[in-house]
Structure 1
Amino acid sequence: MKHNFTMTTFFIIISFLLYFQSSDTKEISWHENHKLKWTDFKGKPDENSNAAAITASGITFSYSIQKTSSQVVTSFKTKVFAHFYPEESWCKKNLIDNHILTHEQFHFNITELHVRYFREKIATLSVSNAIEKELTKAHKKANNDLEAMQHLYDTETNYSIDREGQQKWNALVNKELKRLEKYKSN
């Protein structure tokens, strides 16, 4: 894309949704003072699944790059958010309790943790003509790492059944969220 302007701004929106992609879904942004409630889980339960609940969350990422008329990158800005998707998240009312809700909240907290890791990485990047590649690479890594941690979390907590494992994960995630507090979502 070429323009004859002194400064051109490119705005590219890239979204990663851990479990799905839908433009009709109203998402909930992660905030330290907002805790999920069972009423946030609005999707239709999968009756063939052994799961009591499913949390659909993901990283939303966008960036803009400014270039001179000779296509030299002069600056870039990014936006990174953790979102929960109510219409894709579900629960089986006869199987849920507060312990399971905490497990589901920590899925969302892990998404926020990876947003913070991603923001920390972005803070180390320098303005260069390679910035778009670097941002794309960092975004892909953030998504891959998020998916891997979500899987490990479910495995090591046995989907919340292992209460000791759940407590260990709660402590680990809370410690990392605290360590990366300067990168938190507002």
Structure 2
Amino acid sequence: MIRIFLIAACMLMLHKDEATIPWSETYKLSWDDFQGPPKQDSDAVATTASGITFSYSIKKTSKRIVSFKTQISAHFYPEKSWYKPNHADNHILAHEQFHFNITELHARKFRQRVSELPVTQSLSTVLDHIHQEINTELSALQEKYDAETNFSRNFEQQALWQKYIEGELAKLAKFKSNK
């Protein structure tokens, strides 16, 4: 019996020396976590840099894939996240936290889709395709969130979005990040 292990690191794993904060149910972002230099030429008061890291290993026997494992994590990047102290408040911080929560939601969706995959000989291609789909969906939802909340300025929409994201996270609770 021959065993071959392949590890593919996708997106942001190239930045393994970069400081990150993994998403956790119990950890809430604070302004101290936003360590990047503020972009003075931007109308934004703050920016959350977050993303999903993804890796997998495939076990082969006699050139056939027999099993696989994945690791999917939602991370916040302090050095790429920034805020303007003179304009920031707790309402904006909550808006930024929900950008991070949206990232975690998509990490959960990713784990759910992977959990439903059968072992096939095209597994690498399928995993890479799901990864691309998730990143596209994540980006689209982040943009929609900002558009509909007017970057946190529409308080009513902000409250509706927070309730929606909390509900979606609860639906996928069995796929949450484990710190």
Unaligned runs of 5+ in 1: none
1:49-79 CA-to-partner distances (Å, cap 9, x unmatched) read 00000000000000000112x3100100000
- Contact in 2 for aligned 1:16/1:143 (Cα 8 Å): no
- Map of 2:161 onto structure 1: 169
Partner of 1:48: 41
Q: Distance in 2 between matches of 1:179 and 1:128?
A: 28
Quick check: 1:178 aligned with 2:170? yes
Counterpart position of 1:6: 2
**Residues in 2 aligned to 1:164 and 1:71: alpha-carbon distance in whole angstroms:** 56
What is the Cα deviation at residue 16 of structure 1?
A: 4.4
SS of match in other structure, 1:60: strand
TM-score (norm 2): 0.96
Deviation string 1:104-131 (CA, Å, 9 cap, x unpaired) is: 0000000000000111100110111011
- Alignment partner of 1:158 is 2:150: yes
Q: Tell me the amino acid that sits aligned with residue 146 of structure 1.
A: L
Task: Give 1:24 shift.
Answer: 3.9
Say which of 52, 55, 80 aligns to 1:62: 55
| Contact in 2 for aligned 1:30/1:82 (Cα 8 Å) | yes
Q: CA RMSD of the aligned region, Å?
A: 1.2
Q: TM-score, normalised by structure 1?
A: 0.93
Q: Distance in 2 between matches of 1:130 and 1:107?
A: 33
- Work out the number of aligned pairs and report it: 178
Corresponding residue for residue 36 of structure 1: 29
